[in-house]
Amino acid sequence: MYFAELAIILSSCFHSSTSFGLNGLSNGYRFFIKELNTSLNLFDAPDIETNWIEQPLDHFDSNESRTWKMRYFERLDLWRNKGPIYLFINGEGEASEWFLRTGIMYDLAKETKGAMFLSEHRYYGKSKPFKNINTETLAYLSSRQALADVAKLLETIKMSPEYKESKVVVVGGSYAGNLAVWMRLLYPDLVDAAISSSAPVLAKKDFYEYLENVSDDFEQQGTSGCYDKIVEVFKRYDELFKTDSGIAQLKEEEQICNNTDMSKPENKQLFFLDKASEFMYEAQYGSPESIKKLCDEIITYSKVFSAKDDETDLWSERNNCFDYDFDAMVEAMRDVDWVMSWTYQTCTEFGYFMTTASENQPFTDNIHTDLFYSLCTKTYGEKFDEKRIDEGIERSNELYGGLQPNVTNVVFVNGDLDPWHRLGVLEDVSYEAPAKIIPLSSHCRDLFSDRPRDPEELKEARKYIKYLIKKWIGAGEYKMP
Res 160 pLDDT > 80 = yes
For residue 314, the model assigns a pLDDT of 82
Q: What Cα–Cα distance (Å) separates residue 306 from each residue in 240, 273, 310, 312?
A: 18, 11, 12, 9
Report the SS3 class of residue 8.
Answer: coil
Q: What is the spatial distance between Cα 195 and Cα 461, in angstroms, rounded to a whole number?
A: 12
SS (H, E, C) 17-63: HHHHHHCHHHHHHHHHHHHHHHHCCCCCCCCEEEEEEEEECCCCCCC
* Distance in Å from the first CA to the final CA of the chain: 49
**DSSP string over 401-416:** -TTS---SSEEEEEES
Q: Phi and psi of 379, rounded to 5°?
A: -85, -40
Cα 159 vs. chain centroid, distance in angstroms?
32
Query: Which pLDDT tens digit goes with each residue over 404-437?
Result: 999 999 999 999 999 999 999 999 999 999 999 9
Query: Which pLDDT tens digit goes with each residue over 454-479?
Result: 999 999 999 999 999 999 999 866 66
Beta bridge partners of 351: 204
For residue 128, the model assigns a pLDDT of 97
For residue 106, the model assigns a pLDDT of 96
User: Per-residue pLDDT averaged across 127-149, rounded?
Assistant: 97
Query: Going by DSSP bridges, is the β-strand pair 351-353/321-322 parallel, antiparallel, or unpaired?
Result: unpaired
User: Per-residue pLDDT averaged across 144-173, rounded?
Assistant: 97
pLDDT tier at 98 (50, 70, 90 boundaries)?
confident
pLDDT tier at 312 (50, 70, 90 boundaries)?
very low
Res 109 pLDDT > 80 = yes
For residue 477, the model assigns a pLDDT of 67
User: Per-residue pLDDT averaged across 302-322, rounded?
Assistant: 75
Q: Are 313 and 329 in contact (CB under 8 A)?
A: yes
Res 446 pLDDT > 90 = yes
Q: What is the spatial distance between Cα 306 and Cα 88, in angstroms, rounded to a whole number?
A: 34
Res 307 pLDDT > 80 = no
Q: What is the spatial distance between Cα 154 and Cα 92, in angstroms, rounded to a whole number?
A: 20
For residue 92, the model assigns a pLDDT of 93
Residue 379 identity: T
For residue 317, the model assigns a pLDDT of 75
pLDDT tier at 390 (50, 70, 90 boundaries)?
very high
Sign (positive or negative) of CA dihedral 376, 380, 382, 386: negative
Q: Are 416 and 217 in contact (CB under 8 A)?
A: no
Q: What is the spatial distance between Cα 75 and Cα 198, in angstroms, rounded to a whole number?
A: 25
Q: What is the spatial distance between Cα 330 and Cα 233, in angstroms, rounded to a whole number?
A: 28
Percent pLDDT > 90 in the chain is 83
Beta bridge partners of 172: 196
For residue 45, the model assigns a pLDDT of 56
Q: Are 348 and 373 in contact (CB under 8 A)?
A: no
More reliable by pLDDT, 44 or 259: 259
User: Per-residue pLDDT averaged across 191-204, rounded?
Assistant: 98
Q: Are 284 and 443 in contact (CB under 8 A)?
A: yes
Which domains are present in the chain? 2-28+205-393 (no CATH), 46-201+403-473 (3.40.50.1820)
Mean pLDDT of the chain: 90
Q: For 178-187, 244-253, 308-317, which range has the lowest pLDDT when averaged over its residues?
A: 308-317
Res 7 pLDDT > 50 = no
Residue 157 identity: I
Query: Which pLDDT tens digit goes with each residue over 370-386?
Result: 999 999 999 999 999 99
Residue 441 identity: S
**DSSP string over 331-397:** HHHTT-HHHHHHHHHIIIIIEEE----SSSSSS-S---HHHHHHHHHHHH-TTSSHHHHHHHHHHHH
Q: What is the spatial distance between Cα 427 and Cα 247, in angstroms, rounded to a whole number?
A: 47
Q: Are 313 and 23 in contact (CB under 8 A)?
A: no
Res 21 pLDDT > 80 = no
Q: 84: which DSSP letter?
A: -
Q: How many CB atoms lie within 10 A of CB 225?
A: 12
Res 116 pLDDT > 60 = yes
Q: 258: which DSSP letter?
A: T
Q: Are 324 and 270 in contact (CB under 8 A)?
A: yes
Residue 61 identity: D
Q: For 66-75, 244-253, 430-439, 446-455, which range has the lowest pLDDT when averaged over its residues?
A: 446-455
pLDDT tier at 218 (50, 70, 90 boundaries)?
very high
